[in-house]
């Protein structure tokens, strides 16, 4: 009996631990190695632990362990069930496809054709090199004739653009040549909407944890710009190098609404485990996001449907 009680204890403790990490992820400290941000990047994947605990409980015939597994299952569905099961509204006013096209992409023309095939009225891209720009213009220019490009980010639109300006989101110490943000006003049939196309600094995972200080600083700079923007309808699209639950993006995501349906994991393209490519809105409801088929990039394109209201 002592052996069974030991298994019961470990299985119950494991289930409680997973439940706690899911529900109380914001309590995990971020001071050392950005452990909180690291957990929040892959938070939905904690659910994978539950079937393993369930199988072990069944193998050991632990009723307590099996019952305990119901707790993290309930917590996971409370947090993520809506993304999985909810049906987005059928009506929308515009679609935007957002893609980090990768500066080492060997087939920019093919990537541009894939983006055009989505039918999205707005096409936003990052890691757009000067050498690759003609390929996107050749493919997109005829049906998306309105264009804004600054540094390595670009926007092609079926509707007129105005008030196009660069957005400086450079962290301290980054050179002036680091240009990864723009803002434009799109004159859509449903009304004007301000669109930000951005690419935040990359993060790295190493022996000391998650290196995200530059990204977090850039997110804070962008968040300040968003807070000062008087636009009634606003979209932020781009490679944010973080998920919407990552507290490092808090200065930005606290002001914007994320889609209520769809996981749309976008990175890495070979085996997507996180959505770090985002379509977020303020005063414009992003009703749905979906990840599309792979291109020549290490990211998947993300398509967002937007209701202007």
Q: Please check whether residue 171 is in contact with residue 201, taking contact to mean a CB–CB distance below 8 angstroms.
A: yes
Hey, how many other C-beta atoms are within 10 angstroms of the C-beta on 242? 27
Tell me the per-residue pLDDT of 157-203, one tens digit each, with 9 for 90 and over: 999 999 999 999 999 999 999 999 999 999 999 999 999 999 999 99
Domains of the chain (ranges plus CATH)?
A: 2-85 (no CATH), 94-307 (3.60.10.10)
The pTM (predicted TM-score) of the whole model is: 0.93
pLDDT tens digits, one per residue of 196-255: 999 999 998 877 778 899 999 999 999 999 999 999 999 999 999 999 999 999 999 999
- CB within 8 A of 59, min separation 6: which ones? none
Q: How far apart are CA 223 and CA 234, in angstroms?
A: 13
């Amino acid at each position: 009996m002592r052996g069974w009680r030991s298994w019961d204890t470990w299985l119950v403790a494991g289930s409680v631990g997973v439940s706690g990490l899911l529900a109380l992820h914001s309590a995990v400290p971020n001071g050392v190695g950005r452990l909180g941000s690291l957990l929040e990047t892959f938070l939905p994947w904690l659910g994978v632990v539950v079937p393993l605990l369930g199988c072990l409980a069944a193998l050991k015939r632990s009723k307590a362990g099996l019952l305990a597994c119901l707790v993290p299952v309930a917590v996971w569905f409370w947090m993520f069930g809506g993304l999985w099961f909810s049906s987005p509204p059928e009506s929308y006013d515009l679609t935007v496809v957002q893609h980090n096209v990768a500066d080492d992409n060997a087939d920019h023309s093919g990537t541009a054709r894939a983006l055009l095939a989505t039918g999205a009225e707005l096409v936003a891209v990052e890691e757009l090199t000067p050498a690759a720009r003609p390929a996107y213009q050749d493919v997109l220019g005829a049906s998306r004739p309105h264009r804004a490009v600054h540094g390595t980010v670009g926007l092609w639109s079926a509707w007129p653009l105005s008030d196009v300006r660069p957005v400086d989101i450079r962290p301290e110490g980054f050179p002036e040549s680091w240009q990864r943000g723009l803002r434009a006003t799109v004159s859509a049939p449903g009304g004007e909407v301000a669109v930000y196309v951005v690419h935040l600094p990359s993060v790295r995972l190493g022996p000391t944890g998650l290196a995200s200080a530059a990204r977090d600083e850039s997110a804070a700079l962008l968040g300040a710009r968003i807070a000062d923007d008087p636009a009634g309808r606003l979209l932020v699209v781009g490679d944010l190098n973080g998920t919407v639950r990552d507290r490092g993006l808090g200065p930005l995501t606290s002001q914007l609404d994320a889609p209520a349906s769809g996981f749309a994991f976008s990175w890495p393209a070979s085996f997507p485990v996180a959505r770090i490519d985002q379509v977020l809105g303020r005063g414009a409801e992003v009703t749905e996001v979906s990840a599309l088929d792979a291109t020549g990039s290490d990211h998947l394109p993300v398509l967002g449907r937007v209701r202007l209201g």
